Structure formats: structure tokens, C-alpha cells
A and B are shown apart, each in its own frame.
Chain A
Amino acid sequence: EAGVAQSPRYKIIEKRQSVAFWCNPISGHATLYWYQQILGQGPKLLIQFQNNGVVDDSQLPKDRFSAERLKGVDSTLKIQPAKLEDSAVYLCASSLDLPGTQWFFGPGTRLTVL
């Protein structure tokens, strides 16, 4: 089966600019996650969707970050405006809506903010 797809793979922007990332989960996976992985740290959950509803966005900096999952499939994560500290790899993951099933991670989008 096809894996979790993300684009772009790399993005370089200047601070205060806007950027958007796209994620296409594995077909049929109801749950979708966005994680932020800063260099030298483990991934940190930004937002979790179940179908097109938000389950957990407690660690999403809502003053600049937004995410949506239209029709319960693809998702976009937006940063507006970007700060230097947003430089990180943004990972998307998906899973079936069943307890104990495996999470599948995409390759990530590496964002550099100058």
C-alpha cells in the first residue's frame, strides 16, 4: 500500500513569511497527526484529527499555526507568520481508527526559516 505522502519535502522561507504543508494519509486511515521535530529533539504533537474533527490541538501555537482536514482525508498545516524557531521537520502520521493499531509516518517536510 502507498505510504503517507507529504509535500514539499524542503522549504526555505524568511521570517514573517507564510508557508503551508500538505499531507495525504494512507487510504482509509481516520486519524491524522502533525508532529514538529526540532533538531536534536523528539517529535512533538501539534494536532490530532479524527476524520475531519480535531481531537487534540493543545500544543498548537494557534496565534500563528493553523491546520485543517477537509473531507477527512488530506490535511494542510499553515504557519503565518513564520518565526526563526519554527525551523524544524514537520511530520505527518496516520492510523486506522482502532485502538492499538500502528501509526505510519510520512518522510516529513524540512522547514528552514531565515
Chain B
Amino acid sequence: AQSVTQLGSHVSVSEGALVLLRCNYSSSVPPYLFWYVQYPNQGLQLLLKYTSAATLVKGINGFEAEFKKSETSFHLTKPSAHMSDAAEYFCAVLNYGGSQGNLIFGKGTKLSVKP
């Protein structure tokens, strides 16, 4: 069975500071991992995904994540936070089932950006 754990339900950074959102996974098979962002009153938007190719994955809006098998981690980073990054971020792992599978999400981390 697959699962993800997000450490920290709320992270606050200053504008221009490094953003680090933590995600650890548990999977009995090589995982496919995802980061999604959710702005208030909106659906989920894919930031990036890891599908067993390069371990450093670059996504939209300057975000990237590194897959570390030895640490079972897939942390999300951005070198310099912007006010527009304030949102909730979800880590997810693919749960195999059918031809597509489905996503199992973590509890989310709310990112606040201070001016």
C-alpha cells in the first residue's frame, strides 16, 4: 500500500526566502510522486511529478523537488518565495488500480508568505 506524510501543516516564510515543504512516502513498489497546489476556492493544479526518470524534477512557478530513495522523501523547494506562492500544497502518490490508478494525498501544508 502507498501513503504520503507531509511534515508541518503550516509553513510561514518571508518573501524572497527559501521555501521547503516536506513529504515522505511509503510504497511497496517504485513510486510515482506528485506535488499539487490549491489556491483558495480553486481545484488542484499540478506543480510537478516524479515518474522514475530524473530524480530532480522541475515544475511550474520555479518549484522543484528531489526524489531521494534512501530517505523516502520528495521535498518541494523554491529558492525565493513570492507572495503569490501563498496557497496549500499537497504531496500525492500514485495508487495503482485499473489502467490509470488514482492519487493518495497527504494532509497538505499551508504556505504563508510574509512581505
Contact = CB atoms under 8 A, between A and B. Distances in A.
Nearest to B110: A40
Contacts of B90: 42-43
Interface residues of A, number: 29
B57 interface: no
Contacts of A88: none
Interface stretch (A13-21, A62-70, A77-85, A93-101): A93-101
Interface in B60-115: 90, 92, 95, 97-108
B106 A42 contact: yes
Interface residues of B, number: 27
A12 interface: no
Nearest to B96: A99
A107 interface: yes
30 contacts: A3-B43, A31-B98, A31-B100, A40-B9, A40-B108, A41-B108, A42-B92, A42-B107, A43-B90, A43-B105, A45-B102, A45-B103, A45-B104, A48-B98, A50-B99, A50-B100, A55-B100, A56-B97, A91-B43, A93-B44, A98-B99, A99-B101, A100-B51, A102-B46, A105-B36, A105-B43, A106-B43, A107-B42, A108-B42, A110-B41
Interface of B: 6, 9, 32, 36, 41-46, 49, 51, 90, 92, 95, 97-108
